[in-house]
Homo-oligomer: A and B are copies of this chain.
Amino acid sequence: MLSYTEENYLKALLKLSFQNEDKPEAGTNEMAAYLGVKPATATDMLKKLKEKELVTYKKYGKILLTESGRKSGIAILRKHRLWETFLYEKLDFSWDEVHEVAEQLEHIQSAKLVDKLEEFLNFPEFDPHGDPIPKANGEMPELAKSLLSELQVGELCRVAAVKDTSTLFLQYLEKLSITIGSQLRVIDVVPFDGSLSIQIETEEPRSVSMKFAESLFVQRI
């Protein structure tokens, strides 16, 4: 059985492996920063995780999840995203409130609970942020995502997920009334600074920064 903390390390490693797309390994400092602990602490924990064969790692080397570690990580991510969906859909939590609570709920131990929760929610494929919810067998529904910044003038898309999950960004989205599924059209692109003018649903076009456009995953339609 994994401790609360061990679970957090595995989940962090998994998330980092998603972030760093093509290189799934992470470094000690990266881990420590992500988890808000000191590097020395991460080193200690990584030794323990290695002992339990959840990560492969050697002194001064890169950290990688083993198959078993990945499986555990996915199970936690699954719980996290199912709980987020529950909070959002059933308990009227807003987009930016779900994460913090799901962060606690993801550690509840009960196989039955997770599966029943999934059933109760009607086997959702994506959480409120548009991220895929792993299935019980570990598979993840794939979604053809592009960044908003990659679209051409005139293209129409649907908001699929956020790349940046910071509260500030989520609150900004809320202010713009953009949610998962919102329809956007790229009206204009300013090559000078990468900013672009977009139409949200049927509203008046408005300008957003390149940083913004690089933080939003969309699906072309």
Contact = CB atoms under 8 A, between A and B. Distances in A.
Interface of A: 87, 90-93, 97, 100-101, 104-105, 108-110, 112-113, 116-117, 120
Q: Which 10 A-B pairs have the closest CB atoms?
A: A91-B116, A101-B110, A104-B108, A101-B113, A91-B120, A90-B120, A105-B108, A92-B116, A91-B117, A104-B109
Nearest to A110: B101
A108 B104 CA distance: 6
10 contacts: A91-B113, A91-B117, A91-B120, A100-B110, A101-B108, A101-B113, A104-B109, A104-B110, A105-B105, A105-B108
A109 B102 CA distance: 11
**Oligomeric state, in number of copies?**
2
A94 to B, nearest CB: 10
Given A101-B112, A105-B105, 9 more contacts: A90-B120, A91-B113, A91-B116, A91-B120, A92-B116, A93-B112, A104-B109, A104-B110, A105-B108
Contacts of A105: 105, 108
A117 to B, nearest CB: 7
Contacts of A101: 108, 110, 112-113
Nearest to A90: B120
A87 B86 CA distance: 13
Contacts of A109: 104
Nearest to A108: B104
A17 B31 CA distance: 46
A92 to B, nearest CB: 6
